Amino acid sequence: MLAIQTLRSEFRPTLRLAIPLVLAELGWMSMAIVDTMMVGRLPNSAVAISAVSLGGILVHTLAFFGAGLLTGLDTLVSQAFGAGQREDCHRSLVHGIYLSFALAPLLMAPVWFFDSLLRQAHIAPDIIALAVPYSKAMAWGTLPLLLYFAMRRCMQGMNLVRPIAFALVTANIINAVGNWLLIYGKLGAPAMGAVGSGWSTAWARIYLAAVLVGYLLWYDHKHRTELLRTPIQPDLMRIRRLIALGLPAAMQITLEIGVFALVTALIGRLGAVSLASHQIALNTVSLTYMVPLGISSAAAVRVGQAIGRRDPQGAADAGGSAIFFGAAFMTLAGIALLLFPRGIARIFTPDVTIIQSTIYLLAAGAAFQLFDGIQTVATGALRGAGDTRTPMFCHFTAYWIIGLPLGYWLCFSRGWGAFGLWSGLSLALILIGIVLLFAWRRTIRRLVITGSSERIHI
């Protein structure tokens, strides 16, 4: 159990690092919410929201696999920074950039096969007609998105977090203005409808990468960090270590996003109203998830830095406190979803039928908020300690072996509709939260006993 004194001592340093990262995650998620709200004002809002939901989650499943591979930078950079090895941090960044360029075309290519994939999934033709071009437009932002993630992981590992928040907050302005211009055809721009939202998102991601590149160059010039003197020769051993840490994390992220992508496709069979309700509920719980996700990144950095300086008890305190803070916030979020579901749904659409359907899904979302907070932050803490495999196995088993089959049965065999699929996912997240909490407790016992004799555990 965490002592009150430990929570007090950890509160400020955790918050100092977590707040900019939470703002960055909220800024990231608010792009999707703004997209949904703005296409929700088009004449056929149910079809437009459904297309953005389906196309967006399919593209994100691919892009976030690449982003997951780059999460190995959390461990490598934070532990090197904790050990006072700044040049090693820069070397990891260079190889993260190499990996981004290699991954981008591989992750973009499948988007051009979405049309046949969605037809085989029996999605309504009017939804496919919008979802496919929206996906293709959005896919052009893949490379800048990966570059952003590589630079962000390196920067947060070295405690440079404020520019990350600035980039995301201002990128939302770029995205919102782009939506206004391209969705509705303002100021002489073509009225592209939902597809315009995809192009706006792609341009916002180019802006994200440009801001972080500009900041790193400015910081290097001002503080003489010798970033530009970093050797650029490929180091196969470093790439292997990056992939060894990142691949399980990439699989875990893909398994999680993938199950929601499949659920989205399955709900697409139920019609535009069910799919629109699913998108609204998913956007809502994704927004609350951004807070523990930011705390998770802070936990990964602080745990990694403590291990780098050979302080296992400090790692235990940092990770345990972060898990507590994430769980506390998500408990409050769950209560809010139960108390104000109608008001939340009305933010996205005036359609009474969609609002009523959304209320039930938000109730299912409220059930897993606490456990989602626990599992998210525990995943980050474990990543800081070099353990990316345990979350991967937990997500695979709980989502794909237990939650998805149960949800499918409740949806289609028991007639529960979209609520049945959400019930299955809710059970999966509850199980993941419990298991990863025990996994973290096991990890800190090992760290304290061994004295963290090695910086990186692969």
Name the residue ranges covered by the structural domains of the chain. Answer: 4-450
Q: Which residues contact 137 (CB under 8 A, 6 or more apart)?
A: 195, 198, 199, 201, 202
Both tokens of residue 203? 């341009």
In the prediction, which pLDDT does 453 show?
A: 46
Q: Which pLDDT tens digit goes with each residue over 202-228? A: 999 999 999 999 999 999 888 888 888
Total Cβ atoms within 10 A of residue 222: 8
Dihedral sign computed on CA atoms, order 144, 148, 150, 151: positive
Own/partner pairs for 417-421, CB < 8 Å, 24+ apart? 417/270, 417/274, 418/267, 418/270, 418/274, 418/277, 418/278, 418/357, 418/360, 418/361, 419/360, 419/361, 419/364, 421/263, 421/266, 421/267
What integer pLDDT is reported at residue 2 of this predicted model?
A: 66
Give residues with Cβ within 8 angstroms of 225, minimum separation 6.
86, 90, 219
Instruction: Say whether pLDDT at 42 is over 90.
Output: no
The amino acid that residue 95 corresponds to is H
Whether 454 shows a pLDDT value over 50: the answer reads: no
d(Cα 385, Cα 458) in Å, to the nearest integer?
A: 9
What average pLDDT score do residues 89-117 get? 91
Q: Which of 144-158, 226-240, 356-370, 399-413 has the lowest mean pLDDT?
A: 226-240
Highest mean pLDDT among 90-94, 129-133, 345-349, 402-406: 402-406
pLDDT > 50? residue 391: yes
Closest to 38 (Cα-Cα) out of 347, 337, 261:
347
pLDDT value at position 456?
43
Q: Is the pLDDT reported for residue 325 higher than 50?
A: yes
Rounded average pLDDT over 235-262: 86
Distance CA 421, CA 263 (A): 7
Is the pLDDT at 342 greater than 80? The verdict is yes
Query: pTM of the predicted model, to two decimals?
Result: 0.78
Looking at the chain, how many residues does it have?
458
Mean pLDDT (whole number) for 65-77: 87
In whole angstroms, give the CA distance from residue 177 to residue 166. Answer: 17
Q: Rounded to whole angstroms, how far apart are CA atoms 107 and 63?
A: 6
Q: Which of 54-68, 263-277, 380-394 is modeled with the greatest confidence?
A: 380-394
Q: How many CA atoms lie within 13 A of 164 on its CB side?
A: 30
